Chain A
Amino acid sequence: QSALTQPPSASGSPGQSVTISCSGTSSDVGAYDYVSWYQQHPGQAPKLIIYRLTMRPSGVPDRFSGSKSGNTASLTVSGLQAEDDAYYYCCSFADHNTLIFGGGTKLTVL
């Protein structure tokens, strides 16, 4: 059960949009629309920002959006703000009722 593949880093200036990819296989991302995304600031627990591929929990700004194409899911952060500077992790449901996380992406707001 290998981790999903995310780029180690991404960056953008305030107001810009950034997209983070999450690549899996036909046994996880490609097979199910149960991809979630988490934001983590240093020293804190991960915070859920996207679930079921495109859904946002209450309180999460609509600047955060999710999508999928084939075996790759993506998180787009629009209108970057300073507080978006954090680590982002994807997670997918997988065969045999398991879950797989991505390796994480450090988003830097320049």
Chain B
Amino acid sequence: QVQLQESGPGQVRPSETLSLRCAVSGGSVNTDDYYWGWIRQTPGGVLEWIGNLCSNGNKFYRPSLSSRVSLSMDTSRNQFSLSLTSVTAADTAVYFCARRGRTIYSDAFVAFDYWGQGLLVTVSS
């Protein structure tokens, strides 16, 4: 059973950088069969895809965030990370990490089948 767990600060000051990590257990991030991604849920309940990456180097980002967001992976620690710069109150949300099938041989091709429990991040001074 694949499990994902987000970690990071619950509060970030405006204009600073939000940095989150997602630890994966029960499976390896070092695989071409899956993307590893981030999704956030605003206080109003809207889900927003942020981006996803694969261990082969492929990365894709939400266009409206692409100038501020960066994803990275540490295969030795079996985890991946999100960095979002110059945050504002609009970035306040619950941040989820999740696994997404990348090939037709994956479970749940182009869908997020395993999710972390989510981490509330508030942007406030």
Interface residues of A (CB under 8 A from B): 1, 3, 34, 36, 38, 44-48, 51-52, 55, 57, 87, 89, 91, 93, 96-101, 103-104
Contacts and interface: CB of A to CB of B under 8 A. Distances in A.
Given A51-B108, A101-B49, A104-B45, A1 B113 contact: no
Number of chain B interface residues as a range = 20 to 34
B49 A34 contact: no
B125 interface: no
A34 B35 CA distance: 15
B107 interface: yes
Contacts of B60: 96-98
Contacts of A47: 115
A91 B116 contact: no
Contacts of B45: 87, 104
A100 B111 contact: no
B109 A91 contact: no
A51 B115 contact: no
A45 to B, nearest CB: 4
Given A104-B45, A104-B46, A46 B108 contact: no
B53 to A, nearest CB: 12
